[in-house]
Structure 1
Amino acid sequence: MIHLIVQASKYLMIFLFLVYTFECFHVFKFEGEEEEQKHIYHVQRTLLFLFHFDAFLVLYITTKNFQLIGFYLMQVIIIAAIIGTYHLFYKHASELVLNNMCMLLTIGFVILTRISFEKAFRQFIFVCAGFVISLLIPMVLQNMTLFRKLTWVYVIIGIGALGVVAVAGQTSYGAKLSLSIGPLTIQPSEFVKIIFVMFIASMLYQRQDFHQVMVTSIFSAVFVLMLVASKDLGGALLYFFTYLVMVYVATRRFVYFGGGILAMIVASLLGYRLFDHVQARVQAWSNPLAVIDGAGYQVCQSLFAIGTGGWFGLGLGQGLPEKIPVVTKDFVFAAISEELGGVFALCLIMVCVSCFFMIMNVAMKLRDNYYRLTAVGLGTLYALQVFLTIGGVIKFIPSTGVTLPLVSYGGSSLLSTMIVFGIIQGLYIMQFDGRTQKKEQKRRRGRKE
């Protein structure tokens, strides 16, 4: 009987998420039709809570762990609080960005609870903290205009934090990534990447001449080299590509972008020559079966899990995600694919694509060049992080040790991504308020005439 419930529930979860994903793109058909869009967003939230209930019902039935009931209710309260509080304080917030953030958090809760209750509970605590921080960000953006003036503050804080990690950071899988402060372990590069984007935006929003681009490039190179010194080459790639995109968007000169890509290729070859753990990852990517007893074990287990899950998955609790090293962080996508299936995993990718499209849509509509560049940089960071994570899991590219935003376990990654989504909400509200002011000005002119 339990087996039948598990199998039926997996198809229901896939169906619910499939409809949710469809609505992420269907909503754009009704741009300007507020009532239709509200209805779609309401449907999405209903699907979210139904998926969440179905998943935890299966987890409880298969484990008989009474703690899951209380933990489920706690999650329902925090997700409902995030949605309700945004509606209360920010009536013009982006509903799609809000719904997608909550759906990705919910998927993270489900898969982490399935793998490790303790890690899922710690993730819940970080979500509560991220909720408070991200809720304040739009208010801060609306009431403070000094961010564009803090160029050298960004440099000092960002390079200083990365420098401390390079000197005193804890080594994990060949790279210095984190610092321990009492019982807490933080990964500064997750937060510095936001500072990095704001630094580039503050440098290029007014002037884009050769001198300004060169000064920006020099200090950006220092950020990247600090990451290289820590052997965090995945982070270095994330920073460098974001820099290239922002410079190209600011200057519209392809020569900068093309030259940067060539430099990135040369740097990648040098990194391969200089760092043993990079060689191991490339070897694991090129032929994982040849080194399955060593560097290729993680990739092989990931591919086995994805292949075993097929299109519709084995069902929650029916796979072996614990066989994949670091499955809650870098390889959480493999665990999702194994138990919830390839269709669900593809929908997850499309929801992430929907987030990226929405961020870029906000960027294109912003008239303030500083905020526009900031949105472009944050959108690039988000999209590239998703690509690097999933690409490494499916063996499309070598693994870079990057987490899947809002889904993977990790306090620093989760908090930084919720901050990014908070900034995007703040910029979306600014854009909406700008349109409202224009309409009001036109209305006033019409009355005068």
Structure 2
Amino acid sequence: MDGSSNRNSDPNPAHIILIPFMAQGHMIPMVDVARLLASSGALVTFITTPVNAARIRPSIDSIENSQLPVRFVQLPFRSADVGLPAGCENVDLISSPDLFKPFMKALSLFGEQVKLYLTATNPTADCIIFDSMNSWVGAVAESLNIPHIIFHGPSCFYILCAHLLKKHQVLKRIDDDYKLFKVPELPEPVEVMKAQVMSLKDRPEWEKESEEIYKTEKSACGVVMNTFEELEKSSLDKFRKEIGKKVWPIGPLSLANKDSDGKAMRGKASSIDTVLLLSWLDSKAPNSVMFVSFGSLSRNPISQLVQIGQGLESASSSQLSFIWVVNEADKSEEVENWLLEFEERTKGRVMVIRGWAPQAMILGHVAVGGFMTHCGWNSTLEAIAAGVVMATWPRFGDQFVNERLVVDVLRIGVTVGAKVPTLFVDEMSEKALVKGE
């Protein structure tokens, strides 16, 4: 175990276990859940692994310094037992598609460690809140007679969409991956393509894992979601009727970070000096900066980076500036050399951040008026909470459905025009390339 916290004034607080899925976009909101529950009087135990604990170390330190009753527990992740590279304990460390199944196998083995811990922990757990991708938690919780609640990180609009597609077996009847169709029974009907909504769970080779996830969803006491009633009322009402369970919308979870330090440290340690960053933003006029970021998992090949750079370079001026987050810089000497030349040409107008950016802090600055985003739900909610409009460029997973919510339903964004899902750099075909203009 790493770290401890003072207990609150209640001599017998509820003890709630949190088990996030090991992907940065899933862990970030679960840390916020820990903060909110502890602030409300619960004793919280957050279970993770050594690599993932190191990644969220700034958030752990912040919570421990605040004396909130949160315990961060690190249990071993058996990467080597399933053929994964040492330290491969997070989805964004998976280097190729064929490692996803071994990663999910390692997660189920992690469940054995969790069960041993929960059997011995004191005080005993009153409830487990777990990410829906951790389907193994249901069996562990039932074997120990602990009530369990699912945490859905994506939008309710997406979760409802996926539920209705499975309910009506829509994807099995569609042969053309890029033909638009309407999702049946959605309160606000939108058109999507099969390629854009087909997740791993929908593929035949993932049928066993998919059924385990749906079985666990049925056994759960209820659902916690990172959204709020005023944003997705019709979707929440419909989803409650569909599943017949309690649904608690507790978002936007990013707002659990009240001060500038909390916003700056949400997720991982920033790759840029925040004082330097704020000074640069302070020098810009209100609503004159566009923030460009594609999340923790998406990667662009050099061909796409050049097109993005050309677009930003032609649009940047004394009136319009950009902050561009580039996660690819540490992967290629070619990328780094090109970036250095790009920075020299756009000095003062485009700030390039290599790696992790303090996104919530940036979006909350008065100088930022727009956000080019991959439509990950954490990013989308952060933009909504900050009142920043979006240019949408989804890549995979829930992101294309989130785009439809932002553009067609909420009407707070415009689409860049991306149609083809991509996750790994080598998957990005010429068809997926979005040109600079």
Structure with the bigger RCO (C-alpha within 8 Å, sep 6+) is 1
- Which of the two has greater strand per residue? 2
Task: Decide which structure has greater helix share.
Answer: 1
**Bin of the TM-score, shorter chain as denominator length:** under 0.3
